[in-house]
Amino acid sequence: MKITDKKVALIHYTLKNAGGEVLDSSEGHDPLAYLHGEGNIIAGLESALEGKSAGDKLEVSVEAAEAYGEYDESLVQPIPRSQFGEHDVEVGMQFHADTAVGPRVVTITAIDGDEVVIDANHQLAGEDLNFSVEVVEVRDASEEELDHGHVHGPGGHEH
């Protein structure tokens, strides 16, 4: 069976950045299960998997724009320290916030006196990504999975 729209694919993957540093891997875990054609995984990886079947191995390079987007300077902004009230602030802290581009995970990247600089870019924004992928299994999706637009069970949603 080949990976086409509305099939469930289970894949093992290792993700490296352009410098060869491992950022994420399914090794030692269940394979990742996703519903093909639903945008469950980044676009560049999904299109490379189209037509593949169990046992296929592939190396996929995805440019930043097709992965988590280019780094956007306008998503970096200073906010007053007072907005955090009594909470401690530290460089590297992350929290959910409403931003100009919708709800995002933002990271504190600098603290300068009464000013806290937050960055709403995805942590992998601006990174060209290299995936080593092995297709483990391809199966039909259940009615319920198609209805929800994602995979249930091992490697997918538990509900």
> Where does this chain bind Zn ion (CB under 5 A)?
148, 157
Q: How far is the CB of 125 from Zn ion (least distance, A)?
A: 28
Is 44 or 155 the residue whose CB approaches Zn ion more closely? Answer: 155
| Integer Cα distance of 108 and 117 in angstroms | 6
Alpha carbons 14 and 3: distance in angstroms, whole number: 19
- Buried b / exposed e over 12-25, threshold 16 CB at 10 Å, is bbebbeeeeeeeee
Q: How far is the CB of 43 from Zn ion (least distance, A)?
A: 22
- β partners of residue 140: 7
Q: CB nearest Zn ion: which residue?
A: 148
Concatenated DSSP letters for 78-118? EEEGGGGTT----TT-EEEEEETTEEEEEEEEEEETTEEEE
Least CB distance from residue 145 to Zn ion, whole Å? Answer: 7
Nearer to Zn ion, 78 or 149 (CB): 149
Please say which residue, 78 or 153, places its beta carbon nearer to Zn ion.
153
Residue with smaller CB distance to Zn ion, 2 or 148: 148
Q: Work out how close the CB of 26 gets to Zn ion at its nearest, in angstroms, rounded to a whole number.
A: 20
